[in-house]
Amino acid sequence: MKTKKEISILIIYTGGTIGMVQDPETGSLVPIDFRHITDHVPELRKFGYDLHSVSFDPVKDSSNIDPEVWIRMAEIIEDSYNDFDGFVILHGTDTMAYTASAMSYMLENLGKPVILTGSQLPIGLLRTDGRENLITAIEIAAAIENDAPAVPEVCIYFDNKLTRGNRTTKMSAEHFDAFNSPNYPPLAEVGLHLKYYNQLICYPAKEKKLIVHKSFDTNVAILKLFPGINRKLVRAIIKTEGLRGLIIETFGSGNAPTYQWFLDDLNQFIDTGGIILNVTQCPGGSVEMGVYETSRQMMAAGVISGKDLTSEASVTKLMHLLGRYSSREKITESLNKSLAGEISQ
Protein backbone atom coordinates (compact mmCIF):
# COMPACT_ATOMS: atom_id res chain seq x y z
CA MET A 1 0.00 0.00 0.00
CA LYS A 2 1.46 3.36 -1.08
CA THR A 3 1.76 6.26 1.34
CA LYS A 4 0.29 9.63 0.36
CA LYS A 5 3.74 10.90 -0.54
CA GLU A 6 4.29 7.98 -2.86
CA ILE A 7 1.12 8.60 -4.85
CA SER A 8 2.04 10.70 -7.84
CA ILE A 9 -0.39 12.71 -9.91
CA LEU A 10 0.22 14.59 -13.14
CA ILE A 11 -1.91 17.70 -13.67
CA ILE A 12 -2.19 18.64 -17.33
CA TYR A 13 -3.33 22.21 -17.72
CA THR A 14 -4.80 22.84 -21.17
CA GLY A 15 -6.65 26.12 -20.48
CA GLY A 16 -10.24 27.18 -19.90
CA THR A 17 -11.94 29.41 -17.36
CA ILE A 18 -10.31 27.65 -14.43
CA GLY A 19 -7.05 29.41 -15.30
CA MET A 20 -8.43 32.68 -16.58
CA VAL A 21 -8.28 36.27 -15.43
CA GLN A 22 -9.99 39.41 -16.60
CA ASP A 23 -7.99 41.48 -19.05
CA PRO A 24 -7.93 44.95 -17.44
CA GLU A 25 -8.08 46.64 -20.85
CA THR A 26 -10.79 44.72 -22.68
CA GLY A 27 -12.66 43.25 -19.71
CA SER A 28 -12.82 39.84 -21.43
CA LEU A 29 -11.51 36.64 -19.94
CA VAL A 30 -8.08 35.62 -21.17
CA PRO A 31 -6.01 32.58 -20.30
CA ILE A 32 -2.95 32.87 -18.09
CA ASP A 33 -0.19 30.42 -17.34
CA PHE A 34 -0.33 27.62 -14.83
CA ARG A 35 1.42 29.50 -12.02
CA HIS A 36 -1.83 31.36 -11.54
CA ILE A 37 -3.49 28.18 -10.36
CA THR A 38 -1.00 27.35 -7.63
CA ASP A 39 -1.01 30.98 -6.53
CA HIS A 40 -4.73 30.80 -5.99
CA VAL A 41 -4.92 27.29 -4.58
CA PRO A 42 -2.01 27.16 -2.16
CA GLU A 43 -3.60 24.02 -0.67
CA LEU A 44 -2.19 22.20 -3.69
CA ARG A 45 1.32 22.62 -2.35
CA LYS A 46 0.41 20.94 0.93
CA PHE A 47 -1.71 18.14 -0.45
CA GLY A 48 0.66 15.38 0.61
CA TYR A 49 0.64 13.71 -2.80
CA ASP A 50 3.56 13.88 -5.17
CA LEU A 51 2.04 16.46 -7.55
CA HIS A 52 3.53 17.37 -10.90
CA SER A 53 2.16 19.57 -13.60
CA VAL A 54 2.59 20.28 -17.25
CA SER A 55 1.02 23.19 -19.03
CA PHE A 56 0.07 23.71 -22.64
CA ASP A 57 1.83 26.67 -24.21
CA PRO A 58 -0.13 28.60 -25.27
CA VAL A 59 -3.10 27.46 -23.20
CA LYS A 60 -6.35 27.06 -25.07
CA ASP A 61 -9.91 28.10 -24.71
CA SER A 62 -11.63 24.76 -25.20
CA SER A 63 -13.43 26.03 -28.31
CA ASN A 64 -10.04 25.73 -29.99
CA ILE A 65 -9.44 22.15 -28.90
CA ASP A 66 -9.51 19.63 -31.75
CA PRO A 67 -8.27 16.11 -32.53
CA GLU A 68 -4.68 17.31 -32.84
CA VAL A 69 -4.86 18.56 -29.26
CA TRP A 70 -6.52 15.33 -28.08
CA ILE A 71 -3.56 13.46 -29.55
CA ARG A 72 -1.12 15.72 -27.68
CA MET A 73 -2.99 15.09 -24.42
CA ALA A 74 -2.99 11.33 -25.02
CA GLU A 75 0.72 11.42 -25.83
CA ILE A 76 1.50 13.19 -22.57
CA ILE A 77 -0.37 10.41 -20.75
CA GLU A 78 1.26 7.69 -22.83
CA ASP A 79 4.78 9.06 -22.28
CA SER A 80 4.35 9.38 -18.51
CA TYR A 81 1.94 6.50 -17.93
CA ASN A 82 4.36 4.44 -15.85
CA ASP A 83 5.52 7.42 -13.78
CA PHE A 84 2.14 8.47 -12.35
CA ASP A 85 -0.75 6.89 -10.50
CA GLY A 86 -3.35 9.22 -11.96
CA PHE A 87 -3.91 12.17 -14.27
CA VAL A 88 -5.98 15.33 -13.90
CA ILE A 89 -6.72 17.35 -17.03
CA LEU A 90 -7.76 20.96 -16.51
CA HIS A 91 -9.89 21.91 -19.46
CA GLY A 92 -12.48 24.48 -20.49
CA THR A 93 -16.00 23.31 -19.87
CA ASP A 94 -17.35 24.12 -23.34
CA THR A 95 -15.88 21.11 -25.11
CA MET A 96 -14.83 19.05 -22.10
CA ALA A 97 -17.35 16.31 -22.84
CA TYR A 98 -15.99 15.95 -26.39
CA THR A 99 -12.42 15.64 -25.13
CA ALA A 100 -13.42 13.17 -22.42
CA SER A 101 -15.29 11.05 -24.98
CA ALA A 102 -12.43 11.12 -27.49
CA MET A 103 -9.86 10.23 -24.81
CA SER A 104 -11.97 7.30 -23.64
CA TYR A 105 -11.71 5.75 -27.13
CA MET A 106 -8.05 6.66 -27.58
CA LEU A 107 -6.86 5.14 -24.29
CA GLU A 108 -7.71 1.48 -24.72
CA ASN A 109 -7.17 -0.72 -21.64
CA LEU A 110 -6.72 2.35 -19.46
CA GLY A 111 -5.83 1.20 -15.97
CA LYS A 112 -5.39 4.59 -14.26
CA PRO A 113 -7.74 7.51 -13.56
CA VAL A 114 -7.86 10.36 -16.09
CA ILE A 115 -10.06 13.01 -14.49
CA LEU A 116 -11.09 16.11 -16.40
CA THR A 117 -12.23 19.17 -14.55
CA GLY A 118 -12.55 22.91 -14.96
CA SER A 119 -14.78 25.62 -13.57
CA GLN A 120 -17.56 28.04 -14.37
CA LEU A 121 -15.84 30.92 -12.57
CA PRO A 122 -12.13 31.72 -12.85
CA ILE A 123 -10.08 30.33 -10.00
CA GLY A 124 -8.95 33.83 -9.00
CA LEU A 125 -12.47 34.89 -8.03
CA LEU A 126 -13.70 34.57 -4.47
CA ARG A 127 -16.80 32.56 -5.41
CA THR A 128 -14.97 30.25 -7.79
CA ASP A 129 -16.06 26.65 -8.15
CA GLY A 130 -12.60 25.82 -9.51
CA ARG A 131 -10.92 25.33 -6.16
CA GLU A 132 -13.20 22.51 -5.00
CA ASN A 133 -13.32 20.93 -8.44
CA LEU A 134 -9.55 20.84 -8.69
CA ILE A 135 -8.88 19.59 -5.17
CA THR A 136 -11.43 16.79 -5.36
CA ALA A 137 -10.41 15.80 -8.90
CA ILE A 138 -6.89 15.27 -7.55
CA GLU A 139 -8.23 13.24 -4.64
CA ILE A 140 -10.17 11.02 -7.01
CA ALA A 141 -7.18 10.59 -9.32
CA ALA A 142 -5.15 9.52 -6.28
CA ALA A 143 -7.78 7.24 -4.73
CA ILE A 144 -6.84 3.61 -4.23
CA GLU A 145 -9.39 0.93 -3.40
CA ASN A 146 -8.48 -2.72 -2.87
CA ASP A 147 -4.89 -1.94 -3.83
CA ALA A 148 -5.86 -0.60 -7.26
CA PRO A 149 -6.92 2.79 -8.69
CA ALA A 150 -10.49 3.46 -7.56
CA VAL A 151 -11.68 4.75 -10.95
CA PRO A 152 -9.49 3.65 -13.87
CA GLU A 153 -11.59 5.52 -16.43
CA VAL A 154 -11.72 8.83 -18.29
CA CYS A 155 -14.17 10.85 -16.18
CA ILE A 156 -15.41 14.34 -15.61
CA TYR A 157 -15.48 15.63 -12.06
CA PHE A 158 -17.65 18.69 -11.58
CA ASP A 159 -19.73 20.06 -8.73
CA ASN A 160 -19.62 17.02 -6.46
CA LYS A 161 -20.27 14.45 -9.17
CA LEU A 162 -17.93 12.10 -10.95
CA THR A 163 -19.39 10.96 -14.25
CA ARG A 164 -18.07 8.77 -17.05
CA GLY A 165 -16.62 11.17 -19.61
CA ASN A 166 -18.28 9.63 -22.65
CA ARG A 167 -21.69 9.71 -20.94
CA THR A 168 -21.46 13.33 -19.93
CA THR A 169 -22.84 16.42 -21.54
CA LYS A 170 -22.63 20.13 -20.71
CA MET A 171 -26.12 21.21 -19.64
CA SER A 172 -25.69 24.69 -18.25
CA ALA A 173 -23.72 27.76 -19.19
CA GLU A 174 -24.77 29.34 -15.92
CA HIS A 175 -24.90 26.90 -13.02
CA PHE A 176 -22.04 25.36 -11.09
CA ASP A 177 -23.83 22.06 -11.67
CA ALA A 178 -22.91 22.34 -15.37
CA PHE A 179 -22.67 18.70 -16.41
CA ASN A 180 -25.02 15.79 -16.48
CA SER A 181 -24.86 12.14 -17.41
CA PRO A 182 -28.43 11.53 -18.50
CA ASN A 183 -28.18 7.85 -19.39
CA TYR A 184 -25.70 6.52 -16.84
CA PRO A 185 -25.53 7.16 -13.09
CA PRO A 186 -22.56 8.98 -11.52
CA LEU A 187 -19.53 6.81 -10.75
CA ALA A 188 -18.99 8.65 -7.48
CA GLU A 189 -20.67 11.34 -5.43
CA VAL A 190 -19.06 13.75 -3.06
CA GLY A 191 -20.54 14.97 0.18
CA LEU A 192 -19.00 14.49 3.57
CA HIS A 193 -17.43 11.40 2.05
CA LEU A 194 -16.32 10.38 -1.38
CA LYS A 195 -18.60 7.52 -2.30
CA TYR A 196 -17.58 5.32 -5.24
CA TYR A 197 -20.19 3.14 -6.92
CA ASN A 198 -17.95 0.21 -7.76
CA GLN A 199 -20.59 -1.78 -9.60
CA LEU A 200 -20.86 1.05 -12.17
CA ILE A 201 -17.13 1.46 -12.81
CA CYS A 202 -15.29 -0.34 -15.65
CA TYR A 203 -12.11 -2.11 -14.59
CA PRO A 204 -9.73 -3.28 -17.34
CA ALA A 205 -8.23 -6.74 -17.36
CA LYS A 206 -4.99 -6.33 -15.39
CA GLU A 207 -2.74 -8.06 -17.90
CA LYS A 208 -3.82 -5.81 -20.78
CA LYS A 209 -1.44 -3.02 -21.78
CA LEU A 210 -2.43 0.54 -22.59
CA ILE A 211 -2.91 1.04 -26.32
CA VAL A 212 -3.16 4.63 -27.57
CA HIS A 213 -5.09 5.20 -30.79
CA LYS A 214 -4.07 8.41 -32.48
CA SER A 215 -6.02 8.67 -35.71
CA PHE A 216 -9.17 10.66 -36.28
CA ASP A 217 -11.02 11.34 -39.49
CA THR A 218 -12.88 14.63 -39.29
CA ASN A 219 -14.90 14.02 -42.46
CA VAL A 220 -18.09 13.81 -40.43
CA ALA A 221 -21.16 15.98 -39.99
CA ILE A 222 -24.07 16.32 -37.59
CA LEU A 223 -27.45 17.00 -39.10
CA LYS A 224 -29.96 18.13 -36.52
CA LEU A 225 -33.51 17.62 -37.80
CA PHE A 226 -36.28 20.15 -37.28
CA PRO A 227 -39.84 20.33 -38.57
CA GLY A 228 -39.71 22.01 -41.98
CA ILE A 229 -36.15 21.00 -42.82
CA ASN A 230 -35.66 21.37 -46.56
CA ARG A 231 -33.91 19.27 -49.12
CA LYS A 232 -31.36 21.90 -50.10
CA LEU A 233 -29.93 21.89 -46.61
CA VAL A 234 -29.89 18.11 -46.29
CA ARG A 235 -28.31 17.74 -49.72
CA ALA A 236 -25.68 20.38 -49.04
CA ILE A 237 -24.57 18.43 -45.98
CA ILE A 238 -24.74 14.99 -47.55
CA LYS A 239 -22.91 16.20 -50.66
CA THR A 240 -20.07 17.73 -48.64
CA GLU A 241 -16.87 16.75 -50.41
CA GLY A 242 -15.15 13.83 -48.71
CA LEU A 243 -17.90 13.24 -46.14
CA ARG A 244 -17.65 9.69 -44.77
CA GLY A 245 -19.85 9.73 -41.68
CA LEU A 246 -23.09 11.48 -40.88
CA ILE A 247 -24.84 11.70 -37.53
CA ILE A 248 -28.52 12.49 -37.75
CA GLU A 249 -29.93 13.97 -34.58
CA THR A 250 -33.46 12.67 -34.79
CA PHE A 251 -36.67 13.23 -32.85
CA GLY A 252 -37.60 11.20 -29.77
CA SER A 253 -36.61 7.56 -29.95
CA GLY A 254 -34.90 8.00 -33.33
CA ASN A 255 -37.61 9.25 -35.66
CA ALA A 256 -37.30 11.30 -38.84
CA PRO A 257 -39.63 12.48 -41.59
CA THR A 258 -40.66 9.84 -44.10
CA TYR A 259 -40.41 12.23 -47.07
CA GLN A 260 -39.32 10.22 -50.07
CA TRP A 261 -36.59 12.74 -50.98
CA PHE A 262 -35.12 12.43 -47.46
CA LEU A 263 -34.94 8.63 -47.63
CA ASP A 264 -33.57 8.77 -51.19
CA ASP A 265 -30.76 11.08 -50.12
CA LEU A 266 -29.86 8.88 -47.14
CA ASN A 267 -29.95 5.77 -49.33
CA GLN A 268 -27.70 7.38 -51.88
CA PHE A 269 -25.15 8.39 -49.26
CA ILE A 270 -25.08 4.86 -47.81
CA ASP A 271 -24.88 3.28 -51.28
CA THR A 272 -21.78 5.32 -52.03
CA GLY A 273 -20.03 4.10 -48.87
CA GLY A 274 -21.24 6.65 -46.29
CA ILE A 275 -22.06 5.69 -42.73
CA ILE A 276 -25.09 7.17 -40.99
CA LEU A 277 -25.63 7.02 -37.25
CA ASN A 278 -28.99 7.83 -35.68
CA VAL A 279 -28.76 9.67 -32.36
CA THR A 280 -31.68 11.23 -30.53
CA GLN A 281 -31.75 14.99 -30.00
CA CYS A 282 -33.47 14.38 -26.63
CA PRO A 283 -31.09 15.05 -23.76
CA GLY A 284 -31.87 11.61 -22.29
CA GLY A 285 -33.08 8.22 -23.48
CA SER A 286 -32.26 5.96 -26.37
CA VAL A 287 -32.87 5.47 -30.07
CA GLU A 288 -35.07 2.44 -30.73
CA MET A 289 -35.28 2.04 -34.44
CA GLY A 290 -38.30 0.25 -35.82
CA VAL A 291 -40.73 1.20 -33.08
CA TYR A 292 -42.35 3.80 -35.38
CA GLU A 293 -42.67 3.81 -39.14
CA THR A 294 -40.63 7.04 -39.07
CA SER A 295 -37.52 5.15 -38.01
CA ARG A 296 -38.22 1.76 -39.62
CA GLN A 297 -37.50 3.12 -43.08
CA MET A 298 -34.16 4.54 -41.99
CA MET A 299 -33.28 1.19 -40.47
CA ALA A 300 -34.17 -0.48 -43.78
CA ALA A 301 -31.83 1.94 -45.57
CA GLY A 302 -28.92 0.83 -43.36
CA VAL A 303 -28.83 3.68 -40.84
CA ILE A 304 -27.15 2.48 -37.62
CA SER A 305 -28.73 3.05 -34.23
CA GLY A 306 -26.63 5.22 -31.91
CA LYS A 307 -28.68 3.86 -29.00
CA ASP A 308 -28.18 6.13 -25.97
CA LEU A 309 -25.02 7.89 -27.13
CA THR A 310 -24.66 11.55 -26.31
CA SER A 311 -23.99 13.88 -29.20
CA GLU A 312 -20.41 14.40 -27.96
CA ALA A 313 -19.74 10.68 -27.62
CA SER A 314 -21.23 9.96 -31.06
CA VAL A 315 -19.26 12.46 -33.13
CA THR A 316 -15.97 11.56 -31.43
CA LYS A 317 -16.70 7.83 -31.79
CA LEU A 318 -17.38 8.22 -35.49
CA MET A 319 -14.19 10.27 -36.03
CA HIS A 320 -12.21 7.72 -34.04
CA LEU A 321 -13.57 4.69 -35.89
CA LEU A 322 -13.22 6.28 -39.34
CA GLY A 323 -9.62 7.11 -38.45
CA ARG A 324 -8.93 3.66 -37.09
CA TYR A 325 -10.55 1.37 -39.66
CA SER A 326 -11.15 1.45 -43.36
CA SER A 327 -13.46 -1.57 -43.42
CA ARG A 328 -17.12 -0.65 -43.36
CA GLU A 329 -17.96 -3.90 -41.52
CA LYS A 330 -15.47 -3.17 -38.76
CA ILE A 331 -16.75 0.41 -38.33
CA THR A 332 -20.38 -0.76 -38.24
CA GLU A 333 -19.57 -3.54 -35.79
CA SER A 334 -17.76 -1.11 -33.49
CA LEU A 335 -20.58 1.43 -33.67
CA ASN A 336 -22.95 -1.26 -32.52
CA LYS A 337 -20.96 -2.10 -29.42
CA SER A 338 -19.55 -0.30 -26.42
CA LEU A 339 -15.85 0.55 -26.71
CA ALA A 340 -15.49 2.32 -23.36
CA GLY A 341 -18.87 2.16 -21.68
CA GLU A 342 -20.40 4.85 -23.93
CA ILE A 343 -23.60 2.94 -24.76
CA SER A 344 -25.91 0.66 -22.83
CA GLN A 345 -25.83 -2.86 -24.22
Question: Rounded to an integer, what distance in angstroms lies between the CA atom of residue 324 and that of residue 338?
Answer: 16
Q: Does 152 bind ligand ASP (CB under 6 A)?
A: no
Q: Give the bridge partners for 155, in sequence order.
A: 115, 164
Instruction: Compare residues 67 and 92 and give the one whose CB is closer to ligand ASP.
Output: 92
Asked about 17 being catalytic, the answer comes back as yes
Q: Which amino acid is at 84?
A: F
Q: Does 92 bind ligand ASP (CB under 6 A)?
A: yes
Q: Which amino acid is at 319?
A: M
Q: Does 130 bind ligand ASP (CB under 6 A)?
A: no
Applying the rule CB under 6 A, the residues between 6 and 65 that interact with ligand ASP are 15-17, 61-63
Instruction: Compare residues 85 and 94 and give the one whose CB is closer to ligand ASP.
Output: 94
Interstrand relation of 50-55 and 8-13 (parallel, antiparallel or unpaired): parallel
Pick from 321, 237, 322, 313: which is nearest to 279 by CA? 313
Instruction: Compare residues 62 and 310 and give the one whose CB is closer to ligand ASP.
Output: 62
Nearest approach, Cβ of residue 19 and ligand ASP (Å): 9
Region near ligand ASP per CB under 6 A, out of 45-53, 88-96, 256-264, 333-341: 88-96
Q: Does 78 bind ligand ASP (CB under 6 A)?
A: no
CA 94 from chain centre, in angstroms, equals: 11
Which one of 7, 49, 90, 94 is in contact with ligand ASP (CB under 6 A)? Answer: 94
Instruction: Compare residues 61 and 189 and give the one whose CB is closer to ligand ASP.
Output: 61
Sheet holding 304-305, edge to edge: 220-224, 245-250, 275-280, 304-305
Question: Rounded to an integer, what distance in angstroms lies between the CA atom of residue 223 and that of residue 218?
Answer: 15
Whether 316 contacts 98, CB under 8 Å: yes
What is the distance between the terminal CA atoms of the chain, rounded to a whole angstrom?
36
Region near ligand ASP per CB under 6 A, out of 89-97, 209-217, 252-260, 292-300: 89-97
Binding residues for ligand ASP, rule CB under 6 A, total 11
Active site residues: 17
Footprint of ligand ASP (CB under 6 A): 15-17, 61-63, 92-94, 118, 120
